Chain A
Amino acid sequence: MIRIRDLGVKYGNETALENIDLDIPKNKTCAIIGPSGCGKTTLLYTMAGLIVPSSGKVLINGEELKSTRKETGVILQNGGLLPWKTAWDNVALGLKARGMDKAEINGKVSAILEELGILEHRDKYPNQISGGQRQRVSIARTLVLEPDLLLMDEASSSLDAINREHIQNLILKLYMKNPATMVMVTHSIEEAVFLGQTIVIMERAAIKHIIENPYFGDEDIRTKPEYYNICLEVRKWLSKELSKEEEDK
């Protein structure tokens, strides 16, 4: 599904990504984790076609990515909901942009809002609903377009612990029901292990290590010791990176 070859991104003189090679098979999930400023969000935005690489390429289904593609859904860190549109209008926006007729839009938007348990908030503006509900609306807005690739930038980071787990469970449930290729950027080890079949650990502008997670898909994994073992392994790789950074300073 996704093939990244020798990818580099520069912001002026600053190197944000360098020599990135990564393969993500179709309908698999991948969690990207790393310290702040390591380039994980840049990598996700490049996969979304929002950032043009300065070298290398991103291939999706064999085609080189030149700009955003309609089949890629992106959930941004703060949801990216437009404050002047109600929950309903935010979810309907992408469908309207695709020129879909009104009856079809109504049916699809109602169904997804119902599925995510936010139909009752359909006429509310984003500032009138809670953080968790807002995040559900942004998930609904993306899923209603039935993307084949779902990119998430710290989708649950602005939520409290309980809501964070609810959203993670919801994402897993939705994935199990309709599998799609999913790439998420997170700074939470627990989230990366819960939602990532592959866990990519990044260091400054590069990929440091990749861990395969055989326990992915078990909703009750949080109560099992295997889960903590993988969390520990991810933590170990991250701490190595952090201590190396401190030594360099």
Chain B
Amino acid sequence: MKVFEKLLRSRSLFGSLSILILWYVLHLAIGSKIIPGPFETIVTFFHLMTGSLLLHILSSILRITVAIVLSMGIGIPLGLWMGLSKRADSFISPIAYILYPIPKVAFLPLFMVLFGLGNSSKIILILSIIVFQIILAVRDGVKEIPKEYFYSVATLGLNRWQIYSSLVFPAVLPKIMSALRVSIGVSIATLFFSENYATTYGIGYFIMNCWVMVDYVEMFAGILAMSLMGTFIFKAVDWAEGKICPWV
């Protein structure tokens, strides 16, 4: 009974076990090779992790990380500028609103022609999708800062740079972390798509290659790796938020 209670309390473990049970039930119910059992998939996953799968995951993590860092490098300053300057907002917002809803995956062939078949085109594809989420989240974050905080720092005699560092940037940090969480999900989905073209490395390539080779156990091991990669990145963002936004 106590073990069961402990399991219930550990939310990650409880979630993982629930998925494993559901997966096993589905495996039994379908009774086809297309859904292999969790046990043999996990064994294959650990076996592959000592070899090529680790390299595929690392390539994907590298692409996502570079895309996110670049998106933040572009999105945060632009969002801050738009939030603080009505002129900048009135100039950039219409452009962002027109470009944001366009399905950027349609531009992958164009990106491949412009930026090459390697990592650059895949990174730029992810960047072109998530940078808008970050720009708009930061802009809205700045606009939502209560006026009384601006009054408060103005009466304390803070200069322009001190207002940015002590008020504006910390105020939008939680918004940036939320935008980052949303962006991660989109990034992984886009990454999976882009890694199906012109590459032999990346978790997307690995999964689709296993599918073509009709190796469903390895394909599921790849899906498991992708899921763990996503979980790892989410946990990293949670950890980072706890460190840089301890007041939240």
**Stretch of B101-109, B132-140, B158-166 lying at the A interface:** B158-166
Which residues of A lie under 8 Å from residue B170 when comparing CB positions? 82, 84-85
Q: How many residues of A contact B (CB 8 A)?
A: 27
Taking A82-B149, A125-B246 as contacts, is the C-beta distance between A73 and B155 under 8 angstroms? yes
Interface membership of A68, Cβ < 8 A: yes
In the bound assembly, the distance between CA atoms of A77 and B152 in angstroms comes to 10
* Most-contacted residue by chain B among A45, A93, A125, A145 (CB, 10 A): A93
Q: Is the CB of B148 within 8 A of A78?
A: yes
> B51 near A: Cβ within 8 Å?
no
The verdict on A74 contacting B158 (CB below 8 Å), with A84-B170, A93-B166, A125-B247 known, is no
Contact status B149-A80, CB under 8 Å: yes
Of B152, B154, B156, the contact of A145 (CB 8 Å cutoff): B156
CB atoms of A74 and B157 under 8 A apart: no
Q: For residue B155, which residues in chain A have a CB less than 8 angstroms away from its CB?
A: 48, 50, 68, 72-74
A182 within 8 Å of B (CB atoms): no
Q: Check B154–A84 contact: CB distance below 8 A.
A: no
Task: Output the nearest chain A residue to B147 by Cβ-Cβ distance.
Answer: A50
Query: Is the Cβ of B151 less than 8 Å from the Cβ of A80?
Result: yes
**Cβ of A76 < 8 Å from any Cβ of B?**
yes
Q: Is A56 an interface residue (CB 8 A)?
A: no
Interface string of A95-123 (1 = CB under 8 A from B): 01110000000000000000000000000
Known: A82-B149, A84-B245. A98 touches B157 (CB 8 A): yes
A72–B153 Cα distance when bound, in Å, is: 12
Contact between chains at A84 and B156 (CB < 8 Å): no
- Residues of B146-196 whose CB lies within 8 A of A: 148-149, 151-159, 162, 166-167, 170-171, 173
Residues of A within 8 A of B149 (CB): 80, 82
Q: Please, how many angstroms separate the alpha-carbon atoms of A94 and B166 in the complex?
A: 11
B246: chain A residues within 8 A (beta carbon): 125
CB distance from B54 to the nearest CB of A (A): 39
Contact B247 A83 (CB under 8 A): yes
Whether B157 lies near A70 (C-beta < 8 A) is: yes
Any B CB within 8 A of the CB of A127: yes
Query: Does A141 belong to the interface (CB within 8 Å)?
Result: yes
Residues of A within 8 A of B148 (CB): 76-78, 80
**Which residues of A sit under 8 angstroms from B173, Cβ to Cβ?**
84
In the assembled complex, the Cα of A126 lies from the Cα of B155 at a distance in Å of: 19
CB atoms of B247 and A76 under 8 A apart: no
Q: How far is the CA of A141 from the CA of B153 in the complex (A)?
A: 11
- The answer to whether B166 and A82 touch across the interface, beta carbons within 8 angstroms, is yes
Q: Can you identify 6 A-B contacts, CB atoms within 8 angstroms? A: A48-B151, A50-B151, A72-B155, A82-B166, A97-B162, A125-B247
